[in-house]
Chain A
Amino acid sequence: MSADSPAELGRQLAELRERLSQVESKVGKGQVERLSLVVFSGSLDRQIAAFTIATAAAASGMEVDMFFTFWGFSALRDPGKRGQGTPKTLLARMFGWMLPRGSIQLPLSQFHMGGLGPRLIRKIMSDSKFASLEELMQVAAELEVNLYACDMSMNVMGFSMEELVSYPKLSRCGAATFIERAAAGKVTMFI
């Protein structure tokens, strides 16, 4: 039968329609409108950037996951809380002393100037009514942004969940969870 006979064309059209509907159903189910951020940096400026993008995405209807790892982790520490339970190793205690206790102590990535930089930035931002990092975290909580604490970073630095900020959607996970969720999402960033 020649390829352009009406019967053959009709059969091909039906087959194409079937494949199109399969593709459409896969795209609809598999692709979530999700932003996945790896928050690696413990700098105030980068954390502000991360939370600004995260809250803008959540406000635009996207699901947002933020994975905190290494130095980024400092932003999740609650300055008022101490670890309980198993005693910390010397190395873990050193990390505890040396790393910023929570978002309020984060340094700037540039122009830190011995702590003057972050204070200036915070003053400029509050004078011109920009949201502070703490306000952005509050907005993220309201918009149900998911925060993930990297399990490996917590182990290396000796932190426990009870030392972290009270945040409604905070959980502990490993790299495979990030990969699984980021692979099904649309946008991924490393900050």
Chain B
Amino acid sequence: MSVRTVDARGKFCPLPIVSLAKEARQASKGDELIVLSDDNAFPPDVTSWCQKTGNKLISVEQLDGHFRATIRKEV
């Protein structure tokens, strides 16, 4: 299992999700993806993206000035 980080700070809808999707394509099942984003649409969008694609959203944290989502690739 590996951990991949996507820094999508400074990018807005739909680019954080696009960056996440591209990284997820490269990842293997069981890998963890960490996405950093300062887009306010990101927390609901990443939740929906995980629902839609069948990946597991482990957490979304609000850090200093940005969000950090942790996702486990399930499919």
A, B bound? yes
Binding site for B on A (CB under 8 A): 52, 55-56, 58-61, 128-131, 139, 142-143
The reply to whether A59 and B12 form a contact with Cβ atoms under 8 Å apart is no
The reply to whether B21 and A143 form a contact with Cβ atoms under 8 Å apart is yes
User: In the complex, what residues of B have CB within 8 A of residue A52's CB?
Assistant: 13-14
The reply to whether B12 and A128 form a contact with Cβ atoms under 8 Å apart is yes
The reply to whether A60 and B12 form a contact with Cβ atoms under 8 Å apart is no
The reply to whether A55 and B18 form a contact with Cβ atoms under 8 Å apart is yes
Secondary structure dominating the interface of B: helix
User: In the complex, what residues of A have CB within 8 A of residue B15's CB?
Assistant: 131, 139
Binding site for A on B (CB under 8 A): 10-15, 17-18, 20-22, 45, 48-49, 52-53
Complex formed: what's the CA distance from A143 to B21 in Å? 9
User: In the complex, what residues of B have CB within 8 A of residue A143's CB?
Assistant: 18, 21
Interface centre among B11, B13, B18, B21 (most CB of A within 10 A): B18
Contact of A55 among B11, B12, B14, B45 (CB under 8 A): B14
The reply to whether A56 and B53 form a contact with Cβ atoms under 8 Å apart is no
User: In the complex, what residues of B have CB within 8 A of residue A139's CB?
Assistant: 14-15, 18
Residue pairs across A and B with Cβ atoms less than 8 A apart, 22 shown, are A52-B13, A52-B14, A55-B18, A56-B17, A56-B45, A58-B21, A59-B14, A59-B18, A59-B21, A60-B49, A60-B52, A60-B53, A61-B52, A128-B12, A130-B12, A130-B13, A131-B11, A131-B12, A131-B14, A139-B14, A139-B18, A143-B18
The reply to whether A59 and B11 form a contact with Cβ atoms under 8 Å apart is no
User: In the complex, what residues of B have CB within 8 A of residue A61's CB?
Assistant: 21, 52-53
